Structure 1
């Protein structure tokens, strides 16, 4: 699928014509149609990617992922596990604070304890991904 075909496909999903997209982006008439035969400048491709909130790699057909999704590295995983361990120790009363209504983690039944720990771990992972997405400069995003 060509660059133009990708742009056309996304525009169709948004119920927008190519001419309308060109007007909204401040491009000349038939600019996008010329992408069928000519290579566009990177700033124009970036403009389209930003407008549709997709990556340039997606427009170019290099990936099927529409947007940048940060991957967690081994270091990120270690950091998450360390932070989770600190939280668990705190909930067990080892760091001077109790979990719920004066109860510690040890006072909970095993199933509730496992669910709470899994929920905390998922929350830490999500927070790490959001942070990476928010603070990773666009030029380093794939």
Structure 2
């Protein structure tokens, strides 16, 4: 699935057009559609990810999903990881590197549990 396809699915879910997304995040008209041919600037990709409440990794499809995973699985994983963003231990907020390590563990557990549920 391409970047533009993922954004299209998110836009359909939210019932907005690409033009509405582009206006809302402050990027030029027609920008998103061009991302099938040209790599987006990282700051623009981040703006779109933030608009939809997903990670840039999700948009780029770089979440190391198993071959059997479907779009619903990917949305659920991303939702779970985003709900755990403000992580702390002993009253101190984790560093970005520590947060990423926790997210990696959560991702592994997510796929284990998801696979087990699908096999039932």
Listed as ranges, the matches of 1:53-64 within 5 Å are 53-63=53-63, 64=74
The residue aligned with 2:24 is 24
For 1:8, the equivalent position in structure 2 comes to 8
Structure 1 residues 1-142: aligned runs within 5 Å = 1-63=1-63, 64=74, 65-67=77-79, 69=81, 132=87, 135-136=93-94, 140-141=99-100
TM-score in terms of structure 2 length: 0.59
Task: Find the aligned partners of 1:67 and 1:136 in 2 and give their Cα distance.
Answer: 20
Structure 1 residue 22, shift from structure 2 partner: 0.6
TM-score, structure 1 normalization: 0.50
Structure 2: gaps (5+ residues): 64-73, 104-120
Unaligned runs of 5+ in 1: 71-128
- The CA distance in 2 between the partners of 1:26 and 1:130, in whole Å, is 25
Q: Runs in 1 of length 4+ with deviation above 6 angstroms?
A: none
- Residue aligning to 1:107: none
1:137/1:36 CA distance change after superposition, 3 Å: farther
Root-mean-square deviation over aligned CA pairs: 2.7
